[in-house]
Structure 1
Amino acid sequence: MIEWVPLGHGARPVPRPVAAPLVWAGAFAGALVLVAVLNGTVGSGRPGLALAVLSVLAALLGLCARFTAAPGTALLCWLSLNGFAVPPAGTLTWAGRRDAAWLACLLGAALVGTALARLAHARAAYRRLTTEPGPGTTAPGDL
C-alpha cells in the first residue's frame, strides 16, 4: 500500500546556490587578495603555487555556486594568476598550452567543488526524507 506523505512535514529544503554575480565578485576579490599575499610572502614568479591556491579558492567558491558560475569563476581566477603571479606583473599574456591548462585546472576545481556540494546536499535531503517517519507511521527502531 502506498501512503502519501506531504513533503512539507518535517522536511527541510536543500540550500539554494549563491547567485553567480556574487560568486564572481568573491572570485575576483579573493583571487586578487590571495595573489597579493603570495607575492608579498613568497615572491612573484611562482605560478605553480599560485595555481594551487587559486584552484582551492575556485573549489571553495564552487561549494556555494551553480554550475553555470564555474566558467566565470575560472576566468576571473586565471586573470589574477596570469596578470599578477607571472612576471612581468600587470601584463596579460597567452602562452597557448600553459594558459589553456591553467584555465582547465581552475574550471575543473570549480566544477568539482560544485559537484561535491550538490551531491552532499542531495544525499542529506535523501537521508532526511527516508529516515523521518511520516504521520501515522513508526520508525524502524520503534517496533
Structure 2
Amino acid sequence: MVEWRRIGRGVRQVPEPWATPLIWTAAYLGAFALVALLDVLGFLDRTGLALLVLMLLAALLGIRGRFIAAPGTALLCWTCLNVLGTEPAGELSWAGHRDPGWMACLLAAAVVGTVAGRVLHARAAYHRVTPFDEPV
C-alpha cells in the first residue's frame, strides 16, 4: 500500500561547490604554506611526508570543489612540492621516475576528496527531506 505524504520543509539543495579559481588559490597558498612549514620544521628532506601532507590538502579542497578543479589542484600542489621541496630548490624540474607518480597521487587525492564531498553533501540533503505528518 502506498501512503502519500507531503514534504514538510521542502527540498534543500546540495551545497554549491566553491568556485574553481578559489579552490586553485587555496591550493597554491596552502601548498606553499605547508611546504614552507615542513622546511622550517626540518621535515622537507622526507619528500614522502611532504607528498602525504599535500595529498591531504588536495583531498580537503576536493571536498568543497568541483571535479573540474581537481587537475589544477593536483598540478599546483605538485608545482610547490617540485620547486620548493626537491633539489635543485627554486627550479622546476622533471624526474621521470618520481614526478608522474606524485602527480597521480595528488590527482587521485583531489578526485577522491571531490567524490567524498559530493556524496556527503547529497546524503545530507537527502536526510533533510522530512515528511509532513499531518493528514492529506
TM (norm. structure 1) is 0.85
Tell me the equivalent position of 1:125. Answer: 125
Tell me the equivalent position of 2:68. Answer: 68
Q: Look up the equivalent residue of 2:36 and give its one-letter code.
A: A
- Asked if structure 1 preserves the Cα contact closer than 8 Å seen for 2:83 and 2:91, the reply is yes
Q: Look up the equivalent residue of 2:131 and give its one-letter code.
A: P
| TM alignment of 1:111-122, pairs within 5 A | 111-122=111-122
- Asked if structure 2 preserves the Cα contact closer than 8 Å seen for 1:19 and 1:65, the reply is yes
Structure 2: 5+ residue runs without aligned partners?
A: none
**How far 1:24 sits from its partner (Å)?**
0.2
Tell me the equivalent position of 2:132. Answer: 134
Mapped to 1, the partners of 2:40 and 2:84 lie a distance apart of: 11
RMSD of equivalent CA atoms: 2.1
Mapped to 2, the partners of 1:11 and 1:24 lie a distance apart of: 31
Residue correspondences, number: 135
**How far 1:97 sits from its partner (Å)?**
3.3
Structure 1: 5+ residue runs without aligned partners?
A: 139-143
**How far 1:126 sits from its partner (Å)?**
1.7
Deviates most, 65-74 or 38-47: 38-47
- Asked if structure 2 preserves the Cα contact closer than 8 Å seen for 1:20 and 1:65, the reply is yes
Q: SS at 1:63's partner residue?
A: helix
The structure-2 alpha-carbon separation of the partners of 1:137 and 1:24, relative to structure 1 and needing over 3 Å to count, comes to: farther
Mapped to 2, the partners of 1:33 and 1:22 lie a distance apart of: 16
Q: Could you report, residue by residue, the CA deviation over 1:48-86 in whole angstroms, capped at 9, with x for unpaired residues? A: 111011001101111100010000000000000111111
**How far 1:99 sits from its partner (Å)?**
0.4
Q: SS at 2:132's partner residue?
A: coil
Mapped to 2, the partners of 1:87 and 1:44 lie a distance apart of: 11
TM (norm. structure 2) is 0.89
**How far 1:2 sits from its partner (Å)?**
7.5
- Asked if structure 1 preserves the Cα contact closer than 8 Å seen for 2:5 and 2:133, the reply is no
The structure-2 alpha-carbon separation of the partners of 1:80 and 1:136, relative to structure 1 and needing over 3 Å to count, comes to: same
Q: Look up the equivalent residue of 1:50 and give its one-letter code.
A: A
